[in-house]
Amino acid sequence: QHARFATENWLHIGGRHIDTANDYRTQAAIGEVLARSGMAREEIFITTKCPGAIGFDATMQCAEDNLQMLGQYGPHGVQYIDLLLIHFPFVMKRECTFSRSSPACQPPNFPFEPASKEALQDTWRAMEELKR
């Protein structure tokens, strides 16, 4: 609801850069606003993010999920994301993935752990593949 309101108002006052991410859980609302706006896709710059060094397959899936949630599939085929970022260079601890209230995920603990070199490289390889 807040993302929808903010995006509608942002576009109304002339804003043209939309920033979203999986962690914000705003893509579907933003996609609806963009579809109703009547604006050409080329008029809006969309930035979104994948959550960390999640490896090749998960990064490819993340990009696909973002396209779907942002409503970037339509009668003219697949649209695009202007800027896809890796949100942070680590990974969520397994025990924190679905339960951030777990004691292992609460201060003074950190819910993330360093990503392996392999995960970082695989994630980057996916980003390069998506650019093609």
Which two tokens mark 132?
Answer: 């093609």
Please give the Cα distance from 75 to 13 (Å, whole number): 28
Q: What is the DSSP string of 9-32?
A: HHHHTT--EEE--GGGT-HHHHHH
Asked if 24 is an active-site residue, the reply is yes
From 24, 73, 76, 80, active-site residue? 24
Asked if 80 is an active-site residue, the reply is no
Indicate which residues carry an active-site annotation. Answer: 24, 87
